[in-house]
Amino acid sequence: MQLNFSGLRALVTGAGKGIGRDTVKALHASGARVVAVSRTNGDLVSLSKECPGIEPVCVDLGDWEATEKALGGVGPVDLLVNNAAVALMKAFLETTKEDFDRSFNVNLRAVLQVSQIVARGMISRGVPGSIVNVSSMVAHVTFPNLAVYSSTKGAMTMLTKFMAMELGPYKIRVNSVNPTVVLTAMGQKASADPEFSQKLKERHPLRKFAEVEDVVNSILFLLSDRSASTSESGILVDAGATPPRPAAPPSGLQGHQATLLHALDHAPDAIHAHSQTCTPRPTVWSHLHDTTRQRPTSLQPHTCPTPPTPRTRPHSSTPNMWVPGDPVPPAPTHCVVHSPLKVRSSRNIMDLRLAGRRALVTGAGKGIGRSIVKALHAAGARVVAVSRTQADLDSLVRECPGVETVCVDLADWEATEQVLGGVGPVDLLVNNAAVAFLQPFLEVTKEAYDMSFNVNLRAVIQVSQIVARGLIARGAPGVIVNVSSQASQRGLTNHSVYCSTKGALDILTKVMAVELGPHKIRVNAVNPTVVMTPMGQAAWSDPRKAKAMLDRIPLGKFAEVENVVDTILFLLSDRSSMITGSTVPVDGGFLAT
């Protein structure tokens, strides 16, 4: 099939080498006018010689202000390929703040920024468009030494779904490709060790890595009108290495699936003969699973915006920000749930043998975190409670005498290192602190992005490193539980950054489990639905908004705090000694629908 892009203008990031460079060449050969973006001018000069007429832009996409200056006036763009990425291979315990910031700034924040620039232009012109994000199979499966890189790609998976949901009404399609090792110059170098290469190939049913053209063919297909009904999809170009999707299709869709599978099983013949090596059926099943089972959930139709969520006092200049620890406005009189917070008394707690163990809980000032502290204290654990609000810690100590308190803003890496670096031996860690900004994708700000990832993910890495290093130095086993969300796997309107942080947290949990397991440190996550904390009650007090969500929960109810706390305590205990790398839903069956 000849894909003709004549008359269309395409922008490709990471265009200097590898997949990006070959994508530029293919688009140029197909008649497109191409804007090639790279941070290496020498690569752009040589590319211009190979493809006369392309427009080169030299900029470091990790620099928000420089990117805005260089691309803010780029002009009309019809097709966008977000390919730029950095992959820093480091063990989890050796990952630095600089590694985290550089990786997320290029691999995710730049995707958000460049996509906003391009999408706003499409919308103002009233034209359709297509965006393809180059992700990776490591968004779904884990390898050692790729904690941060895998997390960026897990976040990209959710961001892709959000972009598709919010930009779809403007006829802008958004998809991703998820390749295995690709034999670019960098890929060949990374897989040069024959023993390592063989072991990695054994995870691939086709026993081979991808060629660059395999990935480029998939990108071109998704950019073209041949995929006009495809959006929100993550196409695997991985020789079958990613674990298969569930065998049973969602009820009521069997006929449609059979038809689509039959048609798309033969799609590689139409795209390019060589791309038959890309395992069409697993690829199509991934596409079908994503479009029929994992599509983002808009709480109301696109034509009816979700009612604004009540706001707490401003924490920063960024609007619509929820921060655990902020005061909560009084619940309206029509609040869905009026029951008070419940905390199990000591006689109601299963004997989980937590007495004498030292636990650290972040986000301990209110809600789930505060209830975890109370439950651990009642179970006999010695608890270190971390919050950024001293008043909450003071009242918590009055309720739980003997609790150790630490007041720090976890968004501040240096302050966190100073106060927690000498915290002493910790056996159990609950990473609960989080912030949630409610902003449409096109209105997400740099400040909202940075604060969200600094608290929701970077702080998890930092605090977990501090605790894990202590456990390893002592030769002691330990347990870490990360509080994620059902939003790591489903989209909710105006939660694009929050859901991206939780998608990243899920894959980070798995990488931590892989790397820390040999040290007898277990790592899991809990993924709750809406939880009836005071904040949850206020946010879901509108009956119409609540009903739209409750109708998607088989049990027909939101979670109480004790449902989440009980699950966390179980995962912290030796009763779950064979569980690690798991994400445990506490969602009333929402993720099963």
8 A C-beta contact, residue 17 and residue 184: yes
8 A C-beta contact, residue 284 and residue 265: yes
- Burial of 521-550, coded b for 16+ CB within 10 Å and e otherwise, reads bbbbbbbbbbbbbbbbbbbbbbeebbebbb
Q: Is 146 exposed, middle or buried (0-12, 13-18, 19+ CB in 10 A)?
A: buried
8 A C-beta contact, residue 148 and residue 88: yes
**Residue that the structure tokens 């309206």 belong to:** 332
* Helices 446-453, 496-516: inter-axial angle, 10-degree rounding: 30
What is the rounded distance in angstroms from the CA atom of residue 171 to the CA atom of residue 103?
30
Q: Is 563 left (phi over 0), alpha (psi -120 to 50) or beta?
A: alpha
User: How much is the CA Rg of the chain, to the nearest whole Å?
Assistant: 24
8 A C-beta contact, residue 312 and residue 323: yes
- Residues with Cβ within 8 Å of 229's Cβ and at least 6 positions away in sequence, in order, are none
- Residues with Cβ within 8 Å of 547's Cβ and at least 6 positions away in sequence, in order, are none
Query: Catalytic residue among 449, 502, 520, 547, which?
Result: 502
* Helices 18-29, 41-50: inter-axial angle, 10-degree rounding: 30
Cβ atoms < 10 Å from Cβ of 319: 14
Q: Is 195 exposed, middle or buried (0-12, 13-18, 19+ CB in 10 A)?
A: exposed
Residue 227 DSSP one-character state: G
* Structure-block tokens of residue 182: 């690709």
Provide φ and ψ at 580, rounded to 5°.
-155, 150
Query: Catalytic residue among 25, 366, 374, 498, which?
Result: 498
* Helical ranges in 168-235 per DSSP H: 185-190, 194-201, 212-223
- Residues with Cβ within 8 Å of 115's Cβ and at least 6 positions away in sequence, in order, are 80, 82, 131, 163, 174
* Structure-block tokens of residue 159: 């961001």
Q: Is 502 part of the annotated catalytic residue set?
A: yes
Q: DSSP E strands: which ranges in 13-137?
A: 33-38, 55-58, 79-82, 129-134
Helix or strand or coil: residue 181?
A: coil
What is the rounded distance in angstroms from the CA atom of residue 420 to the CA atom of residue 461?
13
Q: DSSP E strands: which ranges in 497-563?
A: 521-528
Residues identified as active-site: 498, 502
